[in-house]
Amino acid sequence: MSATSETLVPFEDVLAAYDPALGLEVHVELNTATKMFCGCPAAFGGEPNTHVCPTCLGLPGAMPVVNGKAVESAIRIGLALNCDIAEWCRFARKNYFYPDMPKNFQTSQYDEPIAFDGYMDVEVDGETFRVEIERAHMEEDTGKSTHVGGATGRIHGADYSLVDYNRAGIPLIEIVTRPILGAGEKAPAVARAYVQQLRDLIVALGVSEARMDQGNLRADVNLSLSPKGSDVLGTRTETKNVNSFRSVERAVRFEMQRHAAILDAGEAIFQETRHWHEDTGITTSGRPKSDADDYRYFPEPDLVPVAPSREWVEELRGTLPENPVERRARLQEAWGFTDLEMRDVVAAGVVEAIEETVAEGAAPQAARKWWLSELSRRANDAGVEITELGVTPAQVAAVQKLVDDKVVNDKLARQVFDGLLAGEGTPAEIVEKRGLAVVSDDGALSTAVDNAIAANPDVADKIRDGKVAAAGALIGAVMKEMRGQADAARVRELILEKLS
Amino acid sequence: MPEISRDEVAHLATLARIDLSDAELDHLAPQLSVILESVASISGVAGADVPPTSHPMPLTNVFREDVVVPGLTAEQALAMAPAAEEQRFAVPRILGDEQ
């Protein structure tokens, strides 16, 4: 590529001259027990080449048989994306020479996808974008190659490659959007929000673990620019395997800036795949994009057509969970959260945790406070997902109950979480063992307040003169003497009583 | 009449990783054209009401239960490999496309 591929145009300048068109292809690895066409385990990992059989190794004479559960998941995903479900469709062979499939082809669907013509409404900053879904089709995952030799461990310059076929044949659903037009400056955010909302939907359906970091959900980002006002789509590039929500946003932004630089220089965009580099936030040239013709698709003769009855489709429609967007709107209203509060809660992935904590009796704002601040921070520090932190919604509700009952204050409650993470028992037991209960005995508090007043006569005078705000200094002194184990509101009352 | 050009044969040869000389292309392109024509004569008898056959059996929805069945051990799988390393199939250097 020419030097211009390294040049970037400032984002604002891109927007002034061009309209972006986005397209997203998301692969979802299903969580079935077995592979798409054989009874090998579809579990992640395993010792190399231990989840293999004659079918997924493509040995002569081996016959594939479709996993019914995978078809069911595909139909449910299609329905959740408001798609039509094919009355009759076939699998097709996608032929190519690359050893990640031992058969020399990938079994996929070509012009007869199981689901088509759907949409998903995506919200960005309160604005709704309708993302049209062209199709969702069934296919199989490929094996995993390790490249040996060469400097970088990447494919270029490798001496030879080692292939593990455990992943080959795991059911995949590929979800393809139509070009998303008119997003303008929000194109990067729309791309991110689409993938994020799609993931939420997949999780709600329970059809995949949908972990981007483990490759259960992989996004390919298509992008092209056309001169402002033109209705002709530009040449696109496809950035493969962008594996976090943030990277989806960054990759769109980067490609917009890179395309603009090439077009500004009067050069043409080369239709190709691009590799995303997480560390540097850039894309580099991959391979020229093959035309579909080059894959020589033809109907798979070893598999019979899939013809889901309308009864089955309607039965599956009945199993769909509440749409995540509607569910969020309902919860936000029930909880009385502001848009900003709800957005933070969603971004932190604690909607379910808060819902369960509220169900256990905690007030929504209290549940939000603990999950969003205290527990998110601890999960971050520990480098784990918040759901894997080891604190349950029931425990959070129990801690909040202790706060509500004035057994502990917020500061002491944090120590209760310390105890919970250290496995010291129930919140009540931790309060007992650690001696965390606030002193509600007014005698002890009263003495501490007297001491604080005596030690700070000037502050006391101010309060006597009506400067109530000065009470903070005395409260601090009392809390210090009580080693934090006092109810600050009660301390304040006592101070004001004594100095009125 | 279906016809296949010399260029198309050359492109197919590239996709199929078959190295053909110019002489072979000159020789094979007309032959393939004849074969295609012969096969295409079928479309002369098939009317618009006859859908193309992709499977000999008039079956649909042959599904498998999602239950794990034992497959091969790594030793069995790799016994068939021309070369293996670290319990993986060793394959020649891959040039060009990455899937």
Would you call B89 and A163 a contact, using CB atoms and an 8 Å cutoff?
yes
Q: Do B74 and A99 touch (CB under 8 A)?
A: no
Specify if A433 maps to a domain. Answer: no
A307 and A357 assigned to the same domain: no
Q: Does A49 touch chain B (CB under 8 A)?
A: yes
Output the pLDDT for position B2: 64
Query: Could you give the residue ranges of the DSSP H alpha helices within B16-99?
Result: 22-40, 42-45, 74-79
Bridge partners of A163, per DSSP, are: A145, B89
pLDDT at site A483: 78
A464: containing domain: 442-499
- Note whether A291 contacts B: Cβ–Cβ < 8 A: no
CA-nearest residue to B70 within chain A is A40
Query: Does A71 contact chain B (CB < 8 Å)?
Result: yes
Query: Would you say residue A417 lies in a domain?
Result: no
Residue A266 neighbours by CB distance under 10 Å: 7
pLDDT in tens, B53-84: 888 888 999 999 999 999 999 999 999 898 99
In B, which residues are within 8 Å of A301 by CB distance?
A: 54-55
User: B61 and A99: CB-CB below 8 Å?
Assistant: no
Beta carbons of A96 and A138 less than 8 angstroms apart: no
Neighbours of A387 (CB within 10 A): 13
Q: Do A189 and A110 fall within a single domain?
A: yes
Asked if A296 and A334 sit in the same domain, the reply is no
Residues A294 and A380 in one domain: no
pLDDT at residue A3, as a whole number: 40
Written as tens digits, the pLDDT of chain A (500 aa) is 444 446 899 999 999 999 999 999 999 999 999 999 999 999 988 999 999 999 999 999 999 999 999 999 999 999 999 999 999 999 999 998 788 999 989 999 999 999 999 999 998 887 889 999 999 999 999 999 988 876 555 555 668 899 999 999 999 999 999 999 999 999 999 999 999 999 989 999 999 999 888 889 999 999 999 999 898 999 999 999 898 899 999 999 999 999 999 999 999 999 999 999 988 899 998 877 666 668 889 999 999 999 999 999 999 999 999 888 888 889 999 999 998 899 888 878 888 899 999 999 999 999 999 999 889 888 888 877 787 788 899 999 999 998 888 888 888 888 888 898 888 888 888 888 887 777 666 777 888 888 888 888 888 888 888 888 888 888 888 888 887 777 788 888 888 888 87
Nearest to B78 by CA among A133, A49, A364: A49
β-pairing, A18-29 vs A298-299, is: unpaired
Its pTM stands at 0.76
CB contact under 8 A, A65 and B63: yes
Sign of torsion over alpha carbons B55, B58, B61, B66? negative
Q: Do both A202 and A348 map to the same domain?
A: no
* SS3 label, residue A185: helix
**Residue from A380, A355, A450, A24 nearest A219 by CA:** A24
Residues A198 and A268 in one domain: yes
Do A137 and A286 fall into the same domain?
Answer: yes
Helix, strand, coil shares of chain B, percent, nearest 5, are 40, 10, 50
Q: Which two tokens stand for residue A416?
A: 């209760």
Assign a CATH topology to domain B1-45. Answer: Histone, subunit A (1.10.20)
> What are the structural domain ranges in chain B?
1-45
Is the residue at A414 inside a domain?
no
Whether A47 and A196 map to the same domain: the answer is yes
Helices marked H in A21-120 — which ranges? 68-80
pLDDT value at residue A152 = 57
pLDDT at position A368 is 95
Residue A415 counted as domain residue: no
pLDDT score of A177: 98
Tell whether A98 is covered by a domain.
yes
CA–CA separation, A14 and A234 (whole Å): 14
Please name the residue of chain A whose CA is at the shortest distance from the CA of residue B57.
Answer: A304
Residue at which a domain ends, from A267, A288, A316: A316
B53 touches chain A (CB under 8 A): no
Q: Would you call A489 exposed, middle or buried from its count of C-beta atoms within 10 A (0-12, 13-18, 19+)?
A: exposed
Q: Do the beta carbons of residue A320 and residue A206 sit within 8 Å?
A: no
Sign of CA dihedral A210, A214, A220, A221: positive
Interchain CB contact of B15 with A (< 8 Å):
yes
- Report yes or no: B41 at the A interface, CB cutoff 8 Å: no
Q: Residue A480: which CATH number?
A: 1.10.10
Q: Is residue A435 part of a domain?
A: no
CB contact, 8 Å: B51 with chain A?
Answer: no
Task: List CB contacts (< 8 A) between A71 and chain B.
Answer: 63
Structure tokens at B40: 């295409």
- The reply to whether A310 and A330 lie within a common domain is no
DSSP letter for each residue of A308-349: --HHHHHHHHTTPPPPHHHHHHHHHHHHT--HHHHHHHHHTT
- Tokens 């054989």, residue located: A38
Whether residues A340 and A358 fall in one domain: yes
**Residue at A72 is within a domain:** yes
> For position A1, what pLDDT does the model report?
42
In chain A, what are the helix, strand and coil shares in percent, each to the nearest 5?
45, 20, 35
> CB under 8 Å, gap of 24 or more: what pairs does A466-474 form?
A468/A496, A471/A495, A471/A496, A474/A449
CB pairs under 8 A between A and B: 148
Contact residues for B85 (Cβ-Cβ < 8 A; gap 6+): A148, A162
Q: For chain B, say whether A107 makes contact (Cβ under 8 Å).
A: no
Cross-chain CB nearest to A68 (options B65, B85, B99):
B65
- Distance (Å, rounded) from C-alpha A299 to C-alpha A438? 73
Residues A379 and A311 both lie in one domain: no
Cα–Cα distance measured from residue A436 to residue A417, given in angstroms and rounded to the nearest whole number:
12
Total domain count for chain A?
3
The answer to whether A474 faces chain B, any CB pair under 8 Å, is: no
Q: Please tell me whether residues A28 and A11 are part of one structural domain.
A: yes
Cβ <8 Å between A307 and B60: yes
Provide the 3-class DSSP secondary structure of residue A131. Answer: strand
- ipTM more than 0.85? no
Q: Determine, yes or no, domain membership for A184.
A: yes
Tens-place pLDDT, residues B1-24: 567 899 999 988 887 778 999 999
C-alpha A142/C-alpha B36 separation (Å) is: 33
